[in-house]
Structure 1
Amino acid sequence: MREIPLYSTFKKIESINKGMSGDKKYYIETVDKKHLLLRISDFSEYDQKKIEYDLIKKLINFDVNMPFPIDFGVCNEGKSVYTLLSWIEGEEVETILSTLTEKEQYKLGIESGKNLRKIHSLPAPQGIDDWSIRYFSVIDERLEAFRSEGIPFDGDKIILDYIETNKPLLENRPQCYHHGDYHMGNMILSKDGELFVIDWHTVDFNNYGDPWYEFNRLGTEFPAFASGQIDGYFNYNPPEEFWKLLAYYLSVSAITSIVWSKYFAPDRMNSILKLNKDILYWFDDMKNTVPIWYKSEFEM
């Protein structure tokens, strides 16, 4: 850590023991009263961490509310890579939503949708394969894993039939850069009431693809917030095609999570099976692609 150029300005260093990433994280206060976030990763992750840092530098220019990039480099005698960002002081949206009224939840959802739209204004690299090719090169294997070793449930065939029948929806989709893990657990409400997006370290499809794919982590347990995020993203007018793809991405994510849970998180299996049953309920056995939890009466 002492090799970090700004280390001499560090007055306070506190370890942060939160989150699922393998990074070591620290809260930093400097002698000139700046508050920073330091992430230290194994050097084997250098290329990916550099991509993340460069992405943050690009998106700052698109007026996205997010931590400001301060510095990036190698430390610990070449064994580690560090990323230094501004610290966002505030509360995690995930922890405070239950204390807010539905109108307040909806308002925050609006801001999250606007932020996501700004993120998606950065186009994906040129010359990449069609989104359907990239998506199904990963997802087909996961769907086959469910068919062969997943835990069956009432309605699984309905979901699988919807996924198979609607594959053409993913052809010729526009592609852009993604946050990678866009959900309320990665959002901070600042002391000034602004909504910030944090934790850009998740890599999913190389962090670019269909912009609407990022709604697969929508916080449906808070319908007002989820409705607001959709309305904020689409300026209160989501197109019909969006609903079909939302149903698609949510159902694929849910049903393919069953085998993942079986091997890596068996304690979450009941909640994932419930999610699949909820999807059947929300979309009326996949016959109505506008979910029943979506409401527009929160509009302010």
Structure 2
Amino acid sequence: MNDLNKANEINSSQDGVSGHVPELLGRNIAPLGEIIEAYPIRAGVSADRKYKVHFYGYDGAYLLRLFDETALAFKRSEFEALHRMQAMTVHCSRPIAMGRWETEGTYFLLVSYIDGADAQRTLPTSPKPQQLRVGMQAGEELSRISCYPAPEGMESWSNRYIRRTQQELDVLKSKGITSCGVEAATAKIRSSANLTATRPSVFLHGSFQPANLIVHGGRLAGVVGFGGFDWGDPLYEFARLGLYSRGVSTLFCTGQILGYHGGQEPDSEFWELYALYAASGAVSLLAQTSENENSELTTAIEWVDRLAKDHEGFSNVRPSWFAAL
């Protein structure tokens, strides 16, 4: 599933809840005990079977995910990451339990359920001060997420970044995908990739955008969607900002940047890397979308051209919308 599809999906753990699931009632999951209410969550693109569940004697809801054994190792890593996020006071689902389900070859992951609606749907109609506030809160959360260092012995971020980006550029060339925005992004990558040489590697959420941010009562309630996590430069999390989030709310985007930097405008080093990673995000989007329907590829190219225009063909590292407070 490519990121363009993800950006167009309703958040998978917050919407699409429908009628009861009788076969789950009475099932026991330690340490919470017996399930007394269970509703399937049909929205989203994950292969997991997802349910909003309630347990006897406990207030609040929980998210139950059932998945195949082939995903077990990755889910264990995600479960551990959520524990680390809790220790860093990141507002996200609290990991409760993980183990083998009653059906052979099936496993479960149980986390707390975050009430609210995803920011992708709520921000466009929210008051402007709220859009900025949610963005700043998102930036603060992102700064805490990046405090989780990568495992020792991991290959350098620069090597991984350059190899992956070259592979994506090769895809674009082989498919003949081009536009003014594509050419500008490619040139930016070629001229600035050396900036990654000394950059650190930390935990990356992997899809930090409004669709994975839950808003409740006009404030950011939590971050979801950790299933696509990775390791790399913490500023690489901003690669999607000018593509996906920008189309939802430029005030949110401005707020995220300011919130990440403690309310202050960032320095020139940030902007240089921001522009590089924005160009990289554009190339990634097009490479991922290259096998999709023509309409999706057309939309992706339009997003990339808009991104390049925001940066005046990447002659400016700071996007034009940032000053629009």
TM-score interval for Structure 1 and Structure 2 normalised by the shorter chain: over 0.9
Residue 45, structure 1, aligned to residue 45, structure 2: no
Q: Which of 262, 278, 284 is 2:306 aligned to?
A: 278
**Following the alignment from structure 1 to structure 2, what is the Cα–Cα distance between the partners of residues 156 and 87?**
40
1:201 maps to a residue whose letter is: G
Q: CA RMSD in A?
A: 1.8
Residue 254, structure 1, aligned to residue 319, structure 2: no
The 3 A distance-change label for structure 1 pair 282 and 14 is same
1:102 maps to a residue whose letter is: K
Residue 224, structure 1, aligned to residue 251, structure 2: yes
2:258 maps to a residue whose letter is: D
Residue 240, structure 1, aligned to residue 265, structure 2: no
Structure 2 residue matching 1:201: 3-state secondary structure? helix
Structure 2 residue matching 1:263: 3-state secondary structure? coil
Match runs of 1:10-89 below 5 Å: 10-32=35-57, 33-89=59-115
Residue 212, structure 1, aligned to residue 232, structure 2: no
Which residue matches 2:133?
A: 107
CA shift for structure 1 position 265: 4.3
Which residue matches 1:267?
A: 295
TM-score by structure 2 length? 0.85
2:285 maps to a residue whose letter is: S
**Following the alignment from structure 1 to structure 2, what is the Cα–Cα distance between the partners of residues 111 and 104?**
10
Query: In percent, how many aligned pairs have the same letter?
Result: 26
**Following the alignment from structure 1 to structure 2, what is the Cα–Cα distance between the partners of residues 155 and 109?**
26
**Following the alignment from structure 2 to structure 1, what is the Cα–Cα distance between the partners of residues 274 and 219?**
29
Q: Which of 152, 164, 175 is 1:149 aligned to?
A: 175
Which residue matches 2:189?
A: 163
The 3 A distance-change label for structure 1 pair 239 and 201 is same
1:19 maps to a residue whose letter is: G
The 3 A distance-change label for structure 1 pair 20 and 168 is same
**Following the alignment from structure 1 to structure 2, what is the Cα–Cα distance between the partners of residues 179 and 208?**
9
Given that 2:100 and 2:108 are in contact with CA atoms closer than 8 Å, whether structure 1 keeps it comes out as: yes
Given that 1:108 and 1:195 are in contact with CA atoms closer than 8 Å, whether structure 2 keeps it comes out as: no
CA shift for structure 1 position 156: 3.2
CA shift for structure 1 position 284: 0.8
Gaps of 5+ in 2: 1-23
1:31 maps to a residue whose letter is: Y
CA shift for structure 1 position 247: 1.5
Given that 1:183 and 1:217 are in contact with CA atoms closer than 8 Å, whether structure 2 keeps it comes out as: yes
TM-score by structure 1 length? 0.92
1:28 maps to a residue whose letter is: V
CA shift for structure 1 position 217: 2.0
**Following the alignment from structure 1 to structure 2, what is the Cα–Cα distance between the partners of residues 289 and 266?**
30
**Following the alignment from structure 1 to structure 2, what is the Cα–Cα distance between the partners of residues 179 and 260?**
18
Q: Which deviates more from structure 2 when the two are superposed, residues 3-12 or residues 79-88?
A: 3-12
**Following the alignment from structure 2 to structure 1, what is the Cα–Cα distance between the partners of residues 188 and 30?**
54
CA shift for structure 1 position 91: 1.7
1:240 maps to a residue whose letter is: S
Residue deviations 1:83-120 (CA, integer Å, cap 9, x gap): 10111111211111011122210000000000000111
